[in-house]
Structure 1
């Protein structure tokens, strides 16, 4: 029997971290296998084998204090779980520029394809309800100036701060982002495993800006307008604001050209509702690949 060394105890302490990291990598790779296949022409089975063999050798020759079946079996179980979940669930991402008609596209998907919608606008309101952690953090940071008389968050006032100050926008996004992600995961579980629907739509205005959402969605649809002036006019009419304020809101988001470049599918929404529906009908085969 070999003597236990300090290195053995260090490996034992590191193993949970390794398990968490390898689990996250496995989930991300498996969920993005269609993107990987499209970019690198690598099949899912090859991707799976690379992950499997890497995990096997890392765990087999390290973490010697743990039973071999535990140190090798747990990461492998995560890989198989990732494949199972990915095979059960397809999350279509929907994003685009502000006032580009993204909600109209989402509603058509809901009504025509009968898809369940995960609406991040609704979730963002839910996480800042009175008494919730994100609400308390925002109130502590910005005080009563962002509150209505009834104590609820005044979204108009908070919006002014966000659109006029990049530092505040970053802080608010970071403060609410984690809680919104938890709500998204709850919705995915409810739709995919309770309702047993294998396709759902994630409607997220800042899908690309949040960094992580694009890695759980495929395909990603970007709705845009070809002319910025048309976007300004629609935003002025919708929010009853000046053109200057509308332009500030547009400029606060990722340029639509970058979103189009990253998108799997694009919808130009310059025309009528009927024009939009025709475009959606044309892309349906791409959604079920």
Structure 2
């Protein structure tokens, strides 16, 4: 086992720049092992057992004619019906956590890295615990989140507000995080903050 491995949780609100922060950490320290919860969910959308559970619960309207799930349908149901949201969380969250723990165990056994980072959007909302020693929050103002979602995702204001309202406010996450990276400025500033964070964990770059 690798006793020198630093285990970090990375989170933030939608469109705050979590993925950019994760990539930056990996660029600064290439040995970094990154678990991406969003990528895990995307792969699970192609899992036959998951498709069967979703189809059985929502009916054929949740599935696309050519195969796969209708993500827009699921997003609308999750944001408008708490029971539907809870069902989807029960389908995905245990599987995502299992994948995270499997990658962490593999990383620890191989001893090839000093830093393991799990990028988990709902880290605080769902009490996602995988043995991390610190939680890193990437934050912006709500206005910046709104502007980025409209520009990047082409969502209308109603969808944007529904998505943001379904998540814990960034202000509330501040009190739960060990370190906060403020991502309103240029990428160079984000990079400098990421560099300081790595060095604060006593890891030389």
TM-score (norm 1): 0.65
Q: Once superposed, what is the RMSD of the aligned Cα atoms?
A: 1.8
3-state DSSP class of the match of 2:181?
strand
In the other structure, the counterpart of 1:257 is 171
Number of residue equivalences: 202
Aligned-residue offset at 1:183: 1.1
Aligned-residue offset at 1:195: 6.0
**Aligned counterpart for 1:98 among listed residues 7, 11, 14:** 14
**Aligned counterpart for 1:127 among listed residues 17, 27, 44:** 44
In the other structure, the counterpart of 2:92 is 176
Contact 1:236 1:243 in 2 (8 A): yes
**Aligned counterpart for 1:163 among listed residues 54, 63, 79:** 79
Q: Is 1:216 aligned to 2:121, yes or no? A: no
3-state DSSP class of the match of 2:9?
strand
More helix, by proportion? 1
Query: 1:197 and 1:278, CA in 2 relative to 1: closer, same or farther beyond 3 A?
Result: closer
Matched residues in 2 for 1:165 and 1:193: separation?
Answer: 42
Matched residues in 1 for 2:69 and 2:164: separation?
Answer: 23
Query: 1:200 and 1:138, CA in 2 relative to 1: closer, same or farther beyond 3 A?
Result: same
Aligned-residue offset at 1:244: 2.0
For the pair shown, the structure with the greater C-alpha radius of gyration is 1
Aligned pairs for 1:56-95 (under 5 A) are 87-95=3-11
Aligned-residue offset at 1:88: 4.9
In the other structure, the counterpart of 2:120 is 204
Unpaired segments ≥5 residues, structure 1:
1-83
Query: 1:155 and 1:288, CA in 2 relative to 1: closer, same or farther beyond 3 A?
Result: farther
Query: 1:195 and 1:140, CA in 2 relative to 1: closer, same or farther beyond 3 A?
Result: farther
Q: Which has the higher contact order (CA 8 A, sep 6+)?
A: 2
**Aligned counterpart for 1:236 among listed residues 150, 165, 174:** 150
* Per-residue deviation, residues 207-234 of structure 1 (Å, max 9, x unmatched): 1122132x52221110111x21221011
* Per-residue deviation, residues 159-190 of structure 1 (Å, max 9, x unmatched): 12112222211211112111111111221122
Contact 1:192 1:198 in 2 (8 A): no
Unpaired segments ≥5 residues, structure 2:
none
Q: Is 1:267 aligned to 2:181, yes or no? A: yes
More strand, by proportion? 2
Contact 2:122 2:128 in 1 (8 A): no
